[in-house]
Chain A
Amino acid sequence: GNSVTQMEGPVTLSEEAFLTINCTYTATGYPSLFWYVQYPGEGLQLLLKATKADDKGSNKGFEATYRKETTSFHLEKGSVQVSDSAVYFCALSGGGGSYIPTFGRGTSLIVHP
């Protein structure tokens, strides 16, 4: 079956540091890949997505590239802010025609001033 593995947190950074959160997946077919963000006390929000190999999703300074050869979708940001502190979830859906999404366990990011 499908699975998503992302690095365990928490990831603790100083403001303006470079961020990478690793995500790898196994899936049948050609799924769409997503990063969701969850701020404290809120539901998950779609941060960015990519629907085919070599696509780059981007939003709010965050980027991730769909790498089929390495089955990866790593999240990056060049300069994090305190307001980026949240939990980040990597997910996939649509592989093999399945609409049922598969989420990673989430990675907590803490950014200090």
Chain B
Amino acid sequence: DAGVIQSPRHEVTEMGQEVTLRCKPISGHNSLFWYRQTMMRGLELLIYFNNNVPIDDSGMPEDRFSAKMPNASFSTLKIQPSEPRDSAVYFCASSPPTGTSSYEQYFGPGTRLTVT
């Protein structure tokens, strides 16, 4: 399997612009997680989907952030409008069904976002 795929790998944008990050989970996995990682805050869980349904979005910073999972093989995280404090590395991770695993996660390579 190709693993979790994220695009783009790097994104540089200006404050106020819309940013869309994309994720393709591992085939057969039914849970998907979006994380943000910064030096100051470490690794933060933003949102968790199970079977394409958002289960917990309490980590989403504010209304400027939104996430969708239209099908089992694709998810997006959108920031509109972007701000310099959104600069971070954003990770997507997926997990297999709980009956077949012990809740381990498989992470993508991340998208490094810089907002100027």
Interface residues, chain A, with chain B CB atoms under 8 Å away: 31-32, 34, 36, 42-46, 49, 51, 89, 93-94, 99-101, 103, 105-106
Across the interface, A44 reaches (CB within 8 A) one of B31, B91, B95, B102, namely B91
Q: In B59-116, which residues have CB < 8 Å from any A CB?
A: 91, 93, 95, 98, 102-110
Q: Is the CB of B105 within 8 A of A32?
A: no
Known contacts A43-B91, A106-B42, A106-B43: does B102 contact A101 (CB below 8 Å)? no
Bound complex: CA of A32 vs CA of B4, how far in Å?
22
Residue of A nearest to B110 (CB): A43
B50 within 8 A of A: yes
Q: Is the CB of A46 within 8 A of B105?
A: yes
25 A-B contacts, Cβ less than 8 Å apart?
Answer: A31-B103, A32-B102, A34-B104, A42-B109, A42-B110, A43-B93, A43-B107, A43-B108, A44-B43, A44-B91, A46-B105, A49-B102, A49-B104, A89-B43, A93-B103, A93-B104, A99-B50, A99-B98, A99-B103, A100-B48, A100-B56, A101-B33, A103-B43, A106-B42, A106-B43
Residue of A nearest to B58 (CB): A100
B88 to chain A, nearest CB (A): 13
Closest A-B pairs by Cβ, 10 of them: A43-B107, A93-B103, A32-B102, A94-B103, A51-B102, A44-B107, A105-B42, A43-B109, A32-B103, A46-B104
B86 to chain A, nearest CB (A): 19
